[in-house]
Structure 1
Amino acid sequence: MTSSLGRQSTMPAQTSELPDELRHLADSLGIATEFWDYTGVRREASAATIRGVLAALGIAADTDDEIARALEDLELAPWREVLPPSVITPEGREPEVRAHVPDGSAVTVAVVLDGDDVRELGQREDDAAPRYVDGVRTGRATFVLPPDLPVGWHELVARVDGTEAARVPLAVTPERLPEPALATTRGWGVMAQLYSVRSATSWGIGDFADLAELTSLFGDLGADFLLVNPLHAAEPTGHMTPSPYLPVTRRFVNPVYVRPEEIREAAYLTGPQRALVDWAAEEVRTANTVNSPIDRDAVWSAKREALGVIHAAPRSRSRQRALERFRAEEGQGLEDFALWCALHEKYADSSWPAELRDVGSPFVANTRRQLADRIDFYVWLQWVADEQLAAANREARTAGMGLGIMQDLAVGVHPDGADTWTDPDAFAHGIGVGAPPDMYNQQGQNWSQPPWRPDSLVRTAYAPLRQMVRTVLRHAGAIRIDHVMGLFRLWWIPEGMGADEGTYVRYDHDAMVGVVLLEAALAGATVIGEDLGTVEPWVRGYLEDRGVLGTSVLWFEKDDDGQPLRPEQYRRGVLATVNTHDLPPVAGYLAEEHVDLRRRLGLLTQPVEEVRAEARQERERMVARLREDGILTEDPTERELVEALHVYVVRTPAVLVGVSLTDAVGERRAQNQPGTDTEYPNWKLPLADGAERVVMVEDLPGSARLVSLVDAVRDAFGEDDRLA
């Protein structure tokens, strides 16, 4: 979708109500005081919005004195530290590092490389005058990092008068990621909502065993990747949030995807123990063939019962050692997450005691000891989930996929989830992340997710981002970052305000993107950024220069006259698809399901006749372009039209092309309708065909429609000499 940011408008901007010093304070912290909306009009953020954002950063700005103190603290902040809290730099650069020490002291700075090799930094002349900081006359010295430092995580160490005074993380990141490691110059893959794709032996929901079968099938058909919905963990007890984009943590996996029978110890259960597992499966397995909303709560209740039986079974020495290694590698983050799960289980029907709000308190430490058995269970769940996800990715590679599993990374976490409890200082509280109004959601969106604090990320060397990406990429060849603009800026909405009353808060995108690239390089993975919607024009070029692929959706790719972009006008460095999970599949889109659904749900801001006319014009223009390119006959069937759209996308120069599994089987219903919660069964619909008959994993190899679409895609690639 073409961005409107940066366009000039003939309409007047709103009158500013921001005092100059408040504006200066906001600007200093990366808080936007004005921005361009999707219509090209420059908007001013209100003073109330700015103060709400500042309050979430722990800065009082209600009076002139408070604003003045905040500005002074910002100016003195770097002078109060010997070294910056962390340094993130691309390889091949020579960035400066400034040290602040008592005036007259001798200071040296060295790099300690991974492997304990130490390299002293050269000093550059610094003409900054000493200044008094909290009563101490403080001077500044400038050092320069050499350009030949290897990519990786290192440390900077400062010594003052011979004594170590500071040790901070240094990340040297790749300048650019290489293109995807494919057998040919371009590739294609399948996109699926894993929970929706069930087999005869599933437990009412698609799982990791089904994922392995899908990668085997599509790998044999020539696919290079299988993109699945976010697999992040959800609530361990009580009601499980259906949306995979609102997890309790993005670092760990939802064990609802575990297939109990695939756990090795399940094969050695006693007869009575095995019966308990079988009975639990029978409670939910009948749902596999029913086309009704997936009941995650029922599924997880049955699986938890079975998994508890398997967890209690003895493990061999080697298996126990493997579990202990996994536990040690994941460290305190896993221990705290497992504790949160145990507490969520204990206080499922009541409020947590106030003493439990601080994860580092003595009360929590005592509770950790009391709940040790349940913590062990939740650690074990992550281990068996990790094993099964690893097996699915191995199957993908064995089947010939160039990338294997492509994981999806949600933009944020649940406000009352594990991440906000285990690491509260990382988040801005009293803020919801969302999106300003745009042409598809004209009321704006509030996703109810707290954002990371930019200052906290710097202080921790981007630890939350680093740990999350590293864990997600452990068993994946690629990662799709939902709303990649979140690495640059996020739309912050203070509590109590509407989605249209927020403003943008900027992050250090060089550092954010750099950390992602570093972890991807260490894992040998490809990164795709979902750059749809309102994106500043320069961002796409920046990401392309860093080797991050973008996202192109056929329905959104139009020229200034509203005509579909010609294939050769698409960007090369993208994952190109016909649709997205926030729209109905192609068959439903062509039938105007997106119009009818929004009308029924009261989401339209224009008369339905206008919206329907626009939808028909969009379809007619696309059909005309397909005929112009010789892809479509005069009287096509629905199947032929779906295939023609995919062939059109293959004819673009896009490095990767994605085929939605819903399109392959003729499904018409959207998996998600933005702007709704309980009004629509978001993220609950099982895979079905156009007649709303459930499609199972076992049905896919024999699906004439799927085989025909895959053949059309493969033939279109085969005609392209760039694949030779």
Structure 2
Amino acid sequence: MTLARLAALHGVATEYEPSEGVTVRVPDATVVAVLGALDVDASTPEALDAALETALRAERERLLPATLVRWREDPAGPVRPPEDLPPGTRLRVTTESGDVVEGEDWDGLPPGVHTVDAVAPEGRGGRSTLIVAPARVPRPERRSFGLLVQLYSVLSTRSWGMGDLGDLRELATWAGRTHGAGFVQVNPLHAAVPGAPTDPSPYRPSSRRFPDPVHLRIEDIPEYAHVAPEYRAELDSVLTDAAELRERVLRKGALIDRDAVWEVKRRALELIRTVELGPGRRADYRDFLAERGRALEDHATYCALAERHGHHWRTWPEELREPRSAEAAVRAGAGPGDGLPDRIDFHCWLAWLTDRQLAAAGAAASEAGMDIGVVHDLAVGVHPDGSDAWAQQDAFAAGMSVGAPPDAFNALGQDWGLPPWRPDALAASGHAPYRGLLKELLRHAGALRIDHVMGLFRLWWVPEGREPTEGTYVRYDAEAMLAVLCLEAHRAGAVVIGEDLGTVEPGVREQLSRRGVLGTSVLWFERDWAGTGRPLPPEAWRADCVATATTHDLPSTAARLSGDHVALRHRLGLLTGDLQRERSRDAAETRDWLRLLERLGLLPEGPGDEEAEIRAVHRFLLRTPARMVGVWLPDAVGDRRPQNLPGTWDQYPNWRLPVAGPDGQPLSLEQLAASPRLHRLLSVFGPRTAPPGARPV
């Protein structure tokens, strides 16, 4: 009982419900380990009693919570101070702009992140971060459709072995001007862990705050054209290697090799950096450095140190394992021949170049008439050996990993190998790491997709060395997390999409919807699970969502309709049951959907024509009230391969496949744009639209 009480005070669950009416008790050893990661010692009865007394005393003596949230409702309601303060408590609010408000008249406080100081009559004091936020994130101005793409998989005849930001700009311009698309959603473009081989998954990055320069279009860097003649031969050699990488993928069937792409781009970038910046570009770069401040300096320092010592920062020389001591060591060792300051500047420069190309892609989407533009993706966590984990060590729980409990889709649970944020550290900092992350990602985003959005409420923590089944949930201050999200999205004018697939505790979707966060609805999962089990008719779908046929973690629609995805899982030994039984079950589900499509008049060609069936699926999505409808780009050309097959590592080429046709032959961006099959599918969404005054294409 004492352990359960202590755990509750720290947001640690001692039991959970994997399904309605089923309760699972968390092992005491797990609870003790999780509390230990929060610096709460519950390892012995004596330590447990002492920790409980400390926690209860802190509760009694606390004058203000670490974070206060006040919502600016529409119309704006009053912003009131806490009601449970002792009579006579003096309050002082310092706004983020430096203005001071004395007393309890908070109605004039603007949206923002402010500081509250309180002093009780007996002299007891307290300080809190006050987040005043708009009640909702921005909503799409009108209904729209768009493309869902993994950027690396969309190569043009100008890219260097994988899709880049130049390709994103071209894709957005073409989709907006030719087909009236309202958005293009891409995978996370976060910085990957340096070194080779790196983890190809965009969902296990080194840093979520800064983008990866591997996405740069080298020729679009202004200084590229001014590389001195003495370096031209070397640059020509790089261009030859880049062309070979591209041809290997598009013509010879090779997998996308991110490490090889980065090596040729790095060589080119080293040459481009020999070109002196012009006065305007230099001023822009200096402004960028000033705006990003210490966060960028830490990231660049990590990258420079990783070049020298490898990315496993826990094995670095002791003085380099923490950012501030590393900063002092770099300054002390910055003599002739050291080179670290120059390498730090190199990585700052890369972040600047990438940021500016991200801005260009966003601007191109807007100029093409897209209502929303580029939808960026926020991964649920970071690699334990990466930049963010090094730079923000106090914010992460040591010895813990984020995952998922056992469920109907995975009886063994999941361990994603991502260290979780500590909720207590977030609260103590006014959620500064989270605020900084959102601010950076929303700079050039028309919308932001949040992977595993349920993580704003709770995350499944797995202690190091234990199975995922031996984890537990840890709660976060969901109201504060949502307030920061609403505030930063409002400042950026960006829509927010939550990936809310899988296990979602009751009330979460309702809270997200109340704050204007759109959900994610995938065709094959939309069934009447509480009743008949049959496919949901379109009018029964929720409106506040992005409706899609599939995602990067699921089979393509062609593979689903043909049953190829079952055969693939069988070949890789991923089926837990009998092959024939699985095929029969899958075929029955597909028949259910095709019958509904026919009954609604969406499949006039009748079943049997795969391309017509895929068009019918998307006609169905348009029948739903969903605010946004997403088209998985590989579906438009009949690609049968998933980009990622959960449960595999080296058995399947996850995150390394270019978009291909039904025969598996890779298609360039130019071929995609010219594909009759793609045009036939996108014609389902209506006639071409373009912004006023746009030139015909």
**Could you tell me which amino acid in structure 2 is paired with residue 172 of structure 1?**
V
Identify the residue that residue 273 of structure 1 maps to in structure 2: 231
Identify the residue that residue 8 of structure 2 maps to in structure 1: 27
1:111 and 2:93 matched: yes
Structure 2 counterparts to residues 126-525 of structure 1, below 5 A: 146-158=106-118, 168-181=128-141, 185-220=142-177, 221-288=179-246, 289=250, 290-348=252-310, 351-361=315-325, 364-366=329-331, 369=334, 370=338, 371-525=340-494
Which whole-Å deviations, capped at 9, do the CAs of 1:62-113 have from their partners, x for residues lacking one? Answer: 2221111111221233566665433333224655448999xx9x85212223
Q: Distance in 2 between matches of 1:115 and 1:422?
A: 27
1:699 and 2:671 matched: yes
Change (3 A) 1:715 1:613: farther
Deviation at 1:147, TM superposition (A): 4.5
Whether the 8 Å contact between 2:41 and 2:47 is mirrored in structure 1 is yes
Secondary structure of the residue aligned to 1:475 is coil
Change (3 A) 1:93 1:595: farther
**Could you tell me which amino acid in structure 1 is paired with residue 241 of structure 2?**
E
Identify the residue that residue 650 of structure 2 maps to in structure 1: 678
1:37 and 2:18 matched: yes
**Could you tell me which amino acid in structure 1 is paired with residue 628 of structure 2?**
L
Structure 1 stretch 648-657 or stretch 584-593: which is displaced more? Answer: 584-593
Q: Distance in 2 between matches of 1:227 and 1:243?
A: 17
Q: Distance in 1 between matches of 2:63 and 2:373?
A: 45
Which whole-Å deviations, capped at 9, do the CAs of 1:239-262 have from their partners, x for residues lacking one? Answer: 221000000110000110011111
Whether the 8 Å contact between 2:30 and 2:470 is mirrored in structure 1 is yes
Q: Distance in 1 between matches of 2:52 and 2:645?
A: 43
1:637 and 2:609 matched: yes
Which ranges in structure 1 are unaligned for 5 or more consecutive residues? 1-19, 123-144, 718-724
Which ranges in structure 2 are unaligned for 5 or more consecutive residues? 690-697
Q: Distance in 2 between matches of 1:177 and 1:148?
A: 21
Which whole-Å deviations, capped at 9, do the CAs of 1:173-225 have from their partners, x for residues lacking one? Answer: 111224213xxx31111000000100111110100000100000111110111
Whether the 8 Å contact between 1:230 and 1:407 is mirrored in structure 2 is yes
Q: Distance in 2 between matches of 1:268 and 1:205?
A: 25
Deviation at 1:629, TM superposition (A): 0.5
Whether the 8 Å contact between 2:285 and 2:352 is mirrored in structure 1 is yes
1:614 and 2:585 matched: yes
Deviation at 1:39, TM superposition (A): 7.5
Whether the 8 Å contact between 2:137 and 2:485 is mirrored in structure 1 is no
Q: Distance in 2 between matches of 1:448 and 1:54?
A: 19
1:665 and 2:637 matched: yes
Q: Distance in 2 between matches of 1:190 and 1:504?
A: 34
Deviation at 1:441, TM superposition (A): 2.4
Identify the residue that residue 561 of structure 1 maps to in structure 2: 532
Q: Distance in 2 between matches of 1:93 and 1:521?
A: 19
Q: Distance in 2 between matches of 1:286 and 1:358?
A: 41
**Could you tell me which amino acid in structure 1 is paired with residue 67 of structure 2?**
S
Which whole-Å deviations, capped at 9, do the CAs of 1:538-591 have from their partners, x for residues lacking one? Answer: 111111111110110000000032211000000000001011111121001112
Identify the residue that residue 12 of structure 1 maps to in structure 2: none
Structure 1 stretch 390-399 or stretch 675-684: which is displaced more? Answer: 675-684
Deviation at 1:366, TM superposition (A): 3.7
Which whole-Å deviations, capped at 9, do the CAs of 1:667-704 have from their partners, x for residues lacking one? Answer: 11000011111221110001111111111111122110
Q: Distance in 2 between matches of 1:237 and 1:644?
A: 45
Q: Distance in 2 between matches of 1:36 and 1:428?
A: 24
Whether the 8 Å contact between 2:395 and 2:422 is mirrored in structure 1 is yes
Structure 1 stretch 35-44 or stretch 626-635: which is displaced more? Answer: 35-44
Deviation at 1:596, TM superposition (A): 1.9
Deviation at 1:55, TM superposition (A): 1.4
Identify the residue that residue 43 of structure 2 maps to in structure 1: 62
Secondary structure of the residue aligned to 1:37 is strand
Q: Which of 502, 507, 527 is matched with 1:533 structurally?
A: 502
Structure 1 stretch 147-156 or stretch 565-574: which is displaced more? Answer: 147-156
**Could you tell me which amino acid in structure 2 is paired with residue 191 of structure 1?**
L
Deviation at 1:158, TM superposition (A): 4.1
Change (3 A) 1:679 1:111: same
Whether the 8 Å contact between 2:193 and 2:311 is mirrored in structure 1 is no
Q: Provide the alpha-carbon RMSD of the alignment.
A: 2.4
Q: Distance in 2 between matches of 1:164 and 1:318?
A: 53
Identify the residue that residue 695 of structure 2 maps to in structure 1: none
Which whole-Å deviations, capped at 9, do the CAs of 1:348-375 have from their partners, x for residues lacking one? Answer: 3984112222222265454684511000
**Could you tell me which amino acid in structure 2 is paired with residue 659 of structure 1?**
V
Deviation at 1:385, TM superposition (A): 0.2
Q: Distance in 2 between matches of 1:716 and 1:361?
A: 57
**Could you tell me which amino acid in structure 1 is paired with residue 468 of structure 2?**
A
Structure 1 stretch 596-605 or stretch 256-265: which is displaced more? Answer: 596-605
**Could you tell me which amino acid in structure 2 is paired with residue 498 of structure 1?**
E
Whether the 8 Å contact between 2:63 and 2:124 is mirrored in structure 1 is no
**Could you tell me which amino acid in structure 2 is paired with residue 389 of structure 1?**
L
Q: Which of 551, 554, 572 is matched with 1:583 structurally?
A: 554
Change (3 A) 1:161 1:501: closer
Which whole-Å deviations, capped at 9, do the CAs of 1:640-675 have from their partners, x for residues lacking one? Answer: 000100110110000000001100111110000111
Change (3 A) 1:93 1:499: farther
Structure 1 stretch 302-311 or stretch 595-604: which is displaced more? Answer: 595-604
Whether the 8 Å contact between 1:339 and 1:368 is mirrored in structure 2 is no
Identify the residue that residue 141 of structure 1 maps to in structure 2: none
TM-score, normalised to structure 1, is: 0.89
Deviation at 1:23, TM superposition (A): 1.1
Structure 1 stretch 166-175 or stretch 669-678: which is displaced more? Answer: 166-175
Q: Distance in 1 between matches of 2:554 and 2:332?
A: 46
**Could you tell me which amino acid in structure 1 is paired with residue 201 of structure 2?**
S
